[in-house]
């Protein structure tokens, strides 16, 4: 690893403190409402089409968090202008969260307006960074243009009929998703702080895991239903395993390879969305167990698809940032098992979550016993 090509590119070093600021923590807290709104959406419509809508709306919500997080890790300041801008963005996130249900049911004006406002504000922050940091102008101008164009496309969708708007949203998200690729390669240095971005991603992981904690607490208050209580406890064991693996096995973003860095950063979408979907899956199993109701595919799929998405993302990230070793294949195998259990049917709620838990906890246990914790993987 001593070869110069393996060394991290030099950083511009505009951020002086690698730790998340108190305001950044406050900012992340507002996204609890957005994640909760998405979770509530999936809970009320957990059909296959509902799962697709959940994932589709999770993309812009996640990207809003991504945009401000990556800006803060490169150019974040703690002056009055930055504080006012971030507090204004938090208001936008709150309004966006309130509009999630409408976006899914033909009344998207609130969601679209809030989202476009968040992107325009982010573009303005990059314009400010362009003025303050001349050396980084090739990067900041591209981010600013991409965010402004994405915002304009989201806003323009309001002139279209509700049924057509998602098409333009998809175009806007394509622009936004490609902007970092266009921007990052404009410099031979990195503007982000590796340890800071890893901390922020870890904090968002805690946010989505919070849904599992809420579900567990609610599941323990189901009167005399022993099965429902056991389902809740197994669900918490799965959440605890996810936490253990995530925070014990990797904490940093790779800094020596751009492609690996992109996989690490973008692959977390499936980590976050998968954990949130799995939490709702646990909640559905608790409800079915409490009322002794049979499970259909719609009830089983959020848990199986959520855990599979999380495990496959973990496998892909490891393969891209380290190597395709037995851990990667072990995670993929566990993903296949939990998805197969969800698709197969014929199991009671407690049996389904117990077998899913054996797959997830068992894979993690073997992984921990056979390989020591490492900084990235």
Return mean pLDDT, the chain: 89
Residue 315: phi, psi to the nearest 5? -70, -45
Residue 190: phi, psi to the nearest 5? -105, 145
CA distance 110 to 99: 5
Question: Same domain, yes or no, for 208 and 131?
Answer: no
Question: Same domain, yes or no, for 218 and 298?
Answer: yes
Residue 11: inside a domain: no
Residue 238: inside a domain: yes
pLDDT tens digits along 331-369: 999 999 999 999 998 899 999 999 999 999 999 999 888
Domain count, the chain: 2
pLDDT tens digits along 273-285: 999 999 999 999 9
pLDDT at 215: 83
Residue 5: inside a domain: no
Question: Same domain, yes or no, for 152 and 233?
Answer: no
Question: Same domain, yes or no, for 28 and 169?
Answer: yes
Residue 58: inside a domain: yes
Question: Same domain, yes or no, for 114 and 221?
Answer: no
pLDDT at 52: 96
Judged against a pLDDT cut of 70, whether residue 2 lies above it is answered with no
Question: Same domain, yes or no, for 237 and 175?
Answer: no
CA distance 305 to 363: 17
Percent of the chain with pLDDT over 90: 70
Is the CB of residue 316 less than 8 Å from the CB of residue 62? no
The domain boundary residue, chosen from 160, 184, 208: 184
Judged against a pLDDT cut of 60, whether residue 375 lies above it is answered with no
pLDDT at 7: 42
The domain boundary residue, chosen from 184, 206, 238: 184
Question: Same domain, yes or no, for 201 and 71?
Answer: no
Question: Same domain, yes or no, for 201 and 296?
Answer: yes
Q: Which domain holds residue 129?
A: 17-184
Mean pLDDT of 108-124: 98
pLDDT tens digits along 9-46: 445 555 556 678 888 999 999 999 999 999 999 999 99
Which whole-number Å values give the CA distances from 207 to 74, 203, 253, 364, in the listed order? 22, 6, 19, 21
For the record, the structure tokens of 236 come out as 């918490």
């Amino acid at each position: 690893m001593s070869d110069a090509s393996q060394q991290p590119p030099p950083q511009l070093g505009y951020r002086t403190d690698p730790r998340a600021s108190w305001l950044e923590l406050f900012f992340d807290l507002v996204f609890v409402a957005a994640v909760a709104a998405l979770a509530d959406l999936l809970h009320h419509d957990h059909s296959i089409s509902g799962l697709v809508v959940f994932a589709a709306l999770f993309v812009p919500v996640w990207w809003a968090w991504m945009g401000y997080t990556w800006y803060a890790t490169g150019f974040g300041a703690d002056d009055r202008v930055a504080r006012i801008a971030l507090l204004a963005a938090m208001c936008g996130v709150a309004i966006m969260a309130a509009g999630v249900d409408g976006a899914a049911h033909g009344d998207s004006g609130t969601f679209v307006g809030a989202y476009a406002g968040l992107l325009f504000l982010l573009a303005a922050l990059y314009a400010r960074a362009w003025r303050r940091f001349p050396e980084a102008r090739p990067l900041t101008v591209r981010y600013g243009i991409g965010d402004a164009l994405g915002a304009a496309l989201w806003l323009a969708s309001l002139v279209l009929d509700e049924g057509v708007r998602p098409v333009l949203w998809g175009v806007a998200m394509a622009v936004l998703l490609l902007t970092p690729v266009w921007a990052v390669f404009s410099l031979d240095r990195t503007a982000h702080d590796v340890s800071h971005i890893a901390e922020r991603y870890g904090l968002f992981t805690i946010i989505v895991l919070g849904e599992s904690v809420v579900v567990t607490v609610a599941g323990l208050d189901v009167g005399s239903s022993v099965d429902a209580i056991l389902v809740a406890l197994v669900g918490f064991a799965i959440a605890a395993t996810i936490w253990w693996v995530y925070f014990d096995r990797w904490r940093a973003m790779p800094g020596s390879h751009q492609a690996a860095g992109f996989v690490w950063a973008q692959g977390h979408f499936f980590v976050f969305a998968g954990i949130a979907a799995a939490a709702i899956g646990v909640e559905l199993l608790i409800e079915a167990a409490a009322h002794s109701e049979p499970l259909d595919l719609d009830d089983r799929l959020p848990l199986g698809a959520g855990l599979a998405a999380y495990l496959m993302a973990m496998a892909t990230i490891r393969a891209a940032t380290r190597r395709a070793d037995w851990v990667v294949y072990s995670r993929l195998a566990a993903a296949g098992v939990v998805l197969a259990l969800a698709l197969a049917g014929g199991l009671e709620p407690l049996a389904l979550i117990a077998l899913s838990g054996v797959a997830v906890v068992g894979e993690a246990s073997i992984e921990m016993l056979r390989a020591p914790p490492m900084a990235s993987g």
